[in-house]
Amino acid sequence: MSSHNPNPAAPAPMPSKYGLQRKAPNEIKAPSGRFFRRYGGYLFLLPYLILFFSFLILPLVYGFWLSLVDYEMLSPEAPGFVGLDNYREAMNDSYFWRAMKATALYVGMAVPLVIGLALLMAVLIDSLPEKRQGFYRLMIFMPTMITITVAGLVWRWFYHSEFGLLNAMLEPLGIWVPWLTDPNWAMRSIVLMSVWWTAGVPLVILMAGLKQIPTSYYEAGAIDGAIGWRRFVYITLPLLRPILLFVVVLTIIGSFQVFGQTFIITEGGPELATRVIMHYIYDTAFNFYRMGYGSALSWLLFVVIITFSLIQFRVFRER
């Protein structure tokens, strides 16, 4: 260990109020040398950085490169640089716009429903005695733990309009719903299932957020007459905002990437009404082997998600 002072201009240790001397920074023993002191932190980051670069940044950059070439695995022609042609094709591709529309429809229905329901249930469960909260939280969280393949197959049977469970239960009421056979209904059915399947995670996060709000605020509020609905609007909601933002952003990003539900339950049907953008990307790249075009579509989705996320951060920013 060298006793060499890296910063000779540093002032000498000052005696403190109680006569104790604070040690100058260079007197604290570091494991080894200057290099480690300066870059040691990065060493701890290294495992993550390696994964981050090799599985996120690299594929992202490579994907962008792919989106600029005409890479069709089965085409007799060799892949060539085509510039923005893939993006131009997307703009004129009616299937792409249909997929975008289907995705927007899903996001527009699923996000408010999931968040609204999760918030409602979080507040309701939170008002229960502590002992019983765990049970309800678990019940609502449970569907999330089921893999989408299993959940999807079961719901597919529920939804069968002729031989399924739901219509059999609704029949005494004289209701018959074309759950998955009508292009207008199919997305609603997917959303309904998704709410059941995905509401658990936001619920748990929101409940944790509720627990962080000090009870003293409620007590003080109660004195000023903030009870019931007002208590929720003026105390709970503002204090929950950072958590809510987090949950909303997460849910929107997740919803744009919806895939499993439609892939299993409707296979994109009927008449492609539920073929969302992820599904179309999957079909394009892995069933039709159009890697270049598929990458371009992925990048377009990426841009949409980033845009939406930025807008939300702006909207929710603390004023």
CB of 300 to other proteins, least distance (A): 19
Of 74, 78, 173, 315, the residue at the interface with other proteins (CB under 8 A) is 74
- How many CB atoms are located within 10 Å of the residue 70 CB? 20
CB of 74 to other proteins, least distance (A): 5
Q: Are 243 and 281 in contact (CB under 8 A)?
A: no
Number of amino acids touching other proteins (CB under 8 A): 29
Tokens 């019940």 map to which residue?
139
Residue 52, amino acid: F
3-state SS assignment for residue 246: helix
Residue closer to other proteins (CB basis): 189 or 251: 189
CB of 252 to other proteins, least distance (A): 27
**Complete DSSP assignment for 247-271:** HHHHHHHHHHT--HHHHHHTTT-ST
Binding mask 135-174 for other proteins (x = CB under 8 A): ---------------------xx--xxxxx---x--x---
Buried b (16+ CB within 10 A) or exposed e, 52-68: eeeeeeeeeeebeebbb
CB of 183 to other proteins, least distance (A): 9
Residue 97 as a binder of other proteins (CB under 8 A): the answer is: no
Residue closer to other proteins (CB basis): 251 or 262: 262
Q: How far apart are CA 116 and CA 112, in angstroms?
A: 6
Q: Which residues bind other proteins (CB under 8 A)?
A: 72-77, 156-157, 160-164, 168, 171, 178, 180-181, 266-267, 269-272, 283, 286-289
